């Protein structure tokens, strides 16, 4: 890659759609669409949620005029949701930044890329050199798992910087699951997914895939898969304090009291032990600690947990018996089970139930996917295990998890001096909007303003990026290539797909891969070097390591010779080719001639199916024992806190979140077709509570929490259980200095302003975002 202009490449995915007069464009000969106004189509994997649907985009010149589901996609088979159908509107939002912004005399002004990167290097390096790497914080947001750039470059940046000040969206999301997987399986990224297509019984907890389209379980058409489960005689149980669209689809809905899932799951395990319903089956040789587990959970009987959970004890017994009796079953849990005070324990108990019913690692149960870009699987055997708390945050001394500090601690790590090292003085923010997505945005607002320097890689000037000294805008998704490095490791079917940019980079644009490569150089003292050098270095290191691994298909070969074999038009493609070829289905650089390569993938524009999920144990285990460690020490150490929760009852109302199908966290409220209707920032309130509080539907209510208060219209609905109110997140677009012309017309309020950041799941550092105590009063 020259580092300037991405070369035009053959567009295998282009097909002519319009008229019989325009002949189909043969592969490899597509003209530059900027000079070709004829309507045509291109394939693009949708980056707007975790379902990764294949889309067929209709294009007029470089404009995306339509999107439909790609019926030939090997995975999504034509499924699309309203967000994917609005790909063109998301892509063409006129508020997307086109050029970098650089702060001068306090104001952001448009700048050239050269000026912008000069400013980044000049802003970051002195901080690192003077105060050390931990004074440079890195904040990574959710869209990093939806871009190739986000998968390929942040690890390089972190590896080179060696800062301990890393904060990501994971600690307002799924960190509890990583920690539980780390402790149980020795690998924080070994996350079993429910075999949706084959299971007979699904217990779905704190997830609403009919709106979210699934999470930590990549499944295009999740709703269809749930309907198919029921149609084949399977059973669906949903546990959620709200009667969600998913709950309405279920055989059984349990409106649990928020924050108590760990108690429910512990009681289910206890029933299985008491009634001798545990069956390890094929897992027996791989599991240790069953007796210790039985002993540790014995107090959590259905009768003991029922009052805290707000559920009937007999019903809990029935749930456990049904789970054990099902021919195959899977327990699956998401946001509502993670973003709570016992998030790690709940996440652990989900897998405990899958294990002790013998449903882990078998078809119809919960299995470990095997992605095409996974590392070459090493032989099974003991590993290094998973360590927590290798360092601590400076202010509250919170333990790291998976190399990260809690996002809830970001503000204090900037604004509070201690004698334990330097505060964070500069920030690199990539695809994150923590002013809205993390607790206490007002405090973070002030903290960000006090930084010596901040750079945001973001398409929008929004609540967070408005604080930056430099904003580097990535191109819209139509101009970016796509491969799901992260989500294929969580997919309900093994498959691999890659789409090149649907339209060429607009003049003046830089690919996000190049932007991040240059950012790596600027942050690490190599400003001005060719960004292609970053990819070359990664390839050198990876191949150098692979040839030394006895289990690698390239063991003993010459890394230079292997590098020369890589294909691809630029660094990111060469890296993808390398990962595919070294991976579990790869050609091993010739060792397995039928195996995967980038070339082969390009020849299959709708993707390559790699088959259903298959049992993989014991290979994925990396615990020190080489087994599944059922009762790891940190978990056992956290059980007394769960015991206390048996006696806890909320004094008043508690608040939970909700998602809307046509929305996505904080960044899609600026697209008119995706807003309005039921997608509104209202407080859902049960009629009982509304009556007691004298609140009427549509009237404003004041909601007060530990971190502040907000006012939103009430929406009185029996869709939430009594005692629980619900406000969606990602709203609050009323701050000055943004460029979000539509979002600011209906800004909503920031639910996270109700939080002060003090409530965390202690093992994972994950923020407690659900089940938080609030006071609600009529504001009229």
Residues of this chain that bind ligand SF4 (CB under 6 A): 46, 48-49, 51-53, 80-81, 83-84, 213, 220
Of 365, 381, 375, whose CA–CA distance to 330 is shortest?
365
Binder of residue 595, out of ligand MGD, ligand SF4, Mo ion, none (CB less than 5 to 8 A by kind): none
**Toward ligand MGD, which CB reaches closer, 209 or 605?**
209
* Structural contact between residues 756 and 440, judged by C-beta atoms closer than 8 angstroms: yes
> By CB under 6 A, is residue 667 in contact with ligand MGD?
yes
**Toward Mo ion, which CB reaches closer, 173 or 587?**
173
Which of 95, 118, 197, 211: binder of ligand MGD (CB under 6 A)? 211
Least distance between Mo ion and beta carbon 728 (Å): 13
Q: Give dist(CA 478, CA 56) in Å, integer.
A: 11
**Toward ligand SF4, which CB reaches closer, 83 or 469?**
83
Cβ count within 10 A of residue 284:
10
Strand order from edge to edge, sheet including 426-430: 107-110, 101-104, 470-472, 453-457, 426-430, 136-140, 166-168
706: buried, middle or exposed (CB in 10 Å: 19+, 13-18, 0-12)?
Answer: middle
Which of 84, 100, 141, 584: binder of ligand MGD (CB under 6 A)? 141
If you search the block for the tokens 């360092």, which residue do you land on?
A: 391
If you search the block for the tokens 């009594």, which residue do you land on?
A: 722
- Both tokens assigned to 668: 């899609």
> By CB under 6 A, is residue 357 in contact with ligand MGD?
no
> By CB under 5 A, is residue 173 in contact with Mo ion?
yes
In the complex, residue closest to Mo ion by CB: 173
How many residues contact Mo ion, by CB under 5 A?
A: 1
* Structural contact between residues 257 and 241, judged by C-beta atoms closer than 8 angstroms: yes
Least distance between Mo ion and beta carbon 142 (Å): 5
Least distance between ligand MGD and beta carbon 603 (Å): 27
Binder of residue 52, out of ligand SF4, ligand MGD, Mo ion, none (CB less than 5 to 8 A by kind): ligand SF4
Least distance between ligand SF4 and beta carbon 733 (Å): 21
Interacting span for ligand MGD (CB under 6 A) from 140-148, 191-199, 539-547, 674-682? 140-148
Residues counted in the chain: 780
**How many CA atoms lie less than 13 Å away from 721 in the CB half-sphere?**
17
Binder of residue 84, out of ligand SF4, ligand MGD, Mo ion, none (CB less than 5 to 8 A by kind): ligand SF4
Strand order from edge to edge, sheet including 63-69: 15-16, 39-45, 54-60, 63-69
**Toward ligand MGD, which CB reaches closer, 580 or 645?**
645
Least distance between ligand SF4 and beta carbon 696 (Å): 35
**Toward ligand SF4, which CB reaches closer, 81 or 207?**
81
End-to-end, the C-alpha distance of the chain in Å comes to 61
Interacting span for ligand MGD (CB under 6 A) from 11-19, 20-28, 211-219, 303-311? 211-219
Least distance between ligand SF4 and beta carbon 49 (Å): 3
Cα 600–Cα 601–Cα 603 angle in degrees, nearest 5: 65
> By CB under 6 A, is residue 194 in contact with ligand MGD?
no
Cβ count within 10 A of residue 630:
22
Query: According to CB under 6 A, which residues from 30 to 49 bind ligand MGD?
Result: 49
* Structural contact between residues 472 and 459, judged by C-beta atoms closer than 8 angstroms: no
Least distance between ligand MGD and beta carbon 120 (Å): 14
> By CB under 6 A, is residue 86 in contact with ligand MGD?
no
**Toward Mo ion, which CB reaches closer, 173 or 761?**
173
> By CB under 6 A, is residue 634 in contact with ligand MGD?
no
Least distance between ligand MGD and beta carbon 661 (Å): 5
Cα 390–Cα 395–Cα 400 angle in degrees, nearest 5: 25
Residues in a beta bridge with 138: 166, 428
Phi, psi of 525 (to 5 degrees): 85, 15
Cβ count within 10 A of residue 312:
12
Give residue 575's Cα distance to chain centre. Answer: 22
Pure H helices in 57-112: 82-85, 87-91
Binder of residue 353, out of ligand MGD, Mo ion, ligand SF4, none (CB less than 5 to 8 A by kind): none
Binding positions for ligand MGD, rule: CB under 6 A: 49-50, 141-143, 147, 169, 172-173, 205-209, 211-213, 215, 239-242, 244, 256, 258-259, 261, 334-337, 340, 430-434, 437, 457-460, 462, 474, 512, 656-661, 663-667, 729-730, 751-752, 769-771
Binding positions for Mo ion, rule: CB under 5 A: 173
């Amino acid at each position: 890659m020259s580092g300037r202009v991405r070369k035009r490449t053959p567009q295998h995915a282009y097909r002519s759609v319009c008229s019989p007069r325009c002949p189909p464009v043969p592969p490899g000969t597509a003209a530059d669409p900027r000079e070709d106004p004829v309507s045509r189509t291109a394939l693009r994997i949708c980056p707007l949620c975790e379902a990764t649907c294949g889309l067929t985009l209709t294009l007029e010149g470089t404009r995306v005029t339509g999107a439909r589901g790609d019926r030939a996609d090997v995975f999504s088979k034509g499924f699309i949701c309203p967000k994917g159908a609005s790909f063109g509107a998301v892509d063409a939002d006129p508020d997307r930044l086109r050029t970098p912004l650089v702060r001068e005399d306090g104001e952001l002004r448009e700048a050239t890329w050269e000026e912008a990167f000069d400013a980044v290097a000049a802003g970051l390096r002195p901080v690192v050199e003077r105060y050390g790497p931990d004074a440079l914080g890195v904040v990574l947001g959710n869209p990093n798992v939806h871009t190739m750039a986000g998968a390929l470059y942040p690890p390089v940046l972190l590896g080179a910087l060696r800062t301990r000040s890393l904060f990501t969206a994971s600690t307002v999301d799924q960190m509890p699951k990583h920690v539980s997987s780390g402790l149980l399986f020795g690998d924080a990224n070994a996350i079993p997914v429910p075999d949706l297509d084959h299971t007979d019984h699904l217990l779905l907890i704190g997830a609403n895939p009919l709106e979210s389209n699934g999470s930590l379980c990549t499944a295009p058409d999740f709703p269809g898969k749930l309907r198919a489960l029921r149609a084949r005689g399977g059973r669906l149980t949903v546990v959620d304090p709200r009667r969600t669209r998913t709950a309405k689809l279920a055989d059984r809905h349990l409106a649990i009291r928020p924050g108590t899932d760990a108690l429910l799951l512990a009681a289910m395990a206890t029933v299985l032990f008491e009634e001798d319903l545990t069956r390890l089956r094929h897992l027996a040789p791989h599991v240790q600690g069953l007796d210790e587990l039985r002993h540790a959970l014995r107090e959590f009987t259905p009768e003991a947990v029922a009052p805290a959970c707000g559920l009937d004890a007999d019903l809990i017994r029935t749930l456990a018996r049904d789970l054990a009796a099902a021919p195959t079953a899977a327990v699956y849990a998401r946001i509502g089970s993670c973003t709570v005070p016992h998030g790690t324990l709940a996440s652990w108990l989900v897998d405990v139930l899958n294990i002790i019913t013998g449903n882990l690692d078998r078809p119809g149960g919960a299995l470990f996917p095997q992605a095409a870009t996974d590392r070459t699987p090493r032989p099974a055997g003991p590993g290094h295990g998973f360590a927590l708390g290798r360092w601590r945050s400076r202010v509250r001394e919170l333990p790291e998890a998976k190399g990260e500090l809690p996002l809830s601690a970001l503000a204090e790590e900037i604004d509070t001096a201690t004698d334990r090292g330097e505060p964070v003085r500069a920030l690199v923010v990539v695809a994150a909007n923590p002013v809205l997505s993390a607790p206490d945005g007002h405090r973070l607002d002030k903290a960000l303003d006090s930084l010596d320097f901040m750079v945001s890689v973001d398409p929008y000037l929004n609540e967070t990026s408005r604080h930056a000294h430099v904003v580097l805008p990535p191109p819209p998704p139509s101009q970016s290539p796509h491969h799901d490095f992260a989500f294929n490791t969580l997919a309900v079917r093994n498959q691999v797909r890659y789409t090149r940019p649907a339209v060429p980079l607009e003049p003046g644009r830089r690919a996000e891969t190049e932007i991040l490569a240059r950012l790596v150089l600027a942050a690490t003292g190599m400003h001005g070097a060719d960004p292609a050098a970053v990819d070359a270095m990664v390839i050198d290191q990876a191949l150098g390591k692979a040839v030394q691994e006895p289990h690698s298909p390239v063991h003993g070969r010459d890394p230079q010779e292997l590098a020369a074999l890589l294909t691809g038009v630029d660094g990111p493609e060469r890296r993808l080719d390398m990962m595919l070829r070294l991976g579990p289905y790869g050609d091993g650089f010739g060792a397995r001639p039928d195996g995967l390569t980038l070339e082969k993938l390009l020849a299959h524009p709708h993707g390559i199916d790699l088959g259903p999920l298959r049992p993989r144990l014991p290979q994925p285990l990396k615990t020190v024992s080489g087994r599944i460690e059922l009762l790891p020490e940190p978990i056992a150490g956290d059980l007394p806190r769960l015991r206390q929760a048996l006696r806890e009852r909320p004094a008043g109302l508690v608040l939970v979140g909700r998602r809307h199908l046509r929305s996505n966290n904080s960044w899609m409220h600026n697209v008119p077709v995706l807003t309005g209707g039921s997608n509104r920032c209202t407080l859902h309130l049960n009629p009982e509570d509304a009556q007691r509080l004298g609140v009427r539907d549509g009237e404003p209510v004041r909601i007060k929490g530990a971190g502040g208060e907000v006012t939103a219209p009430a929406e009185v609905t029996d869709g939430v259980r009594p005692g629980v109110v619900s406000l969606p997140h990602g709203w609050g677009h009323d701050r000055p200095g943004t460029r979000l012309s539509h979002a600011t017309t209906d800004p909503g309020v920031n639910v996270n302003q109700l939080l002060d950041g003090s409530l965390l799941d202690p093992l994972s550092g994950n923020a407690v975002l659900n089940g938080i105590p609030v006071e609600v009063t009529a504001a009229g």
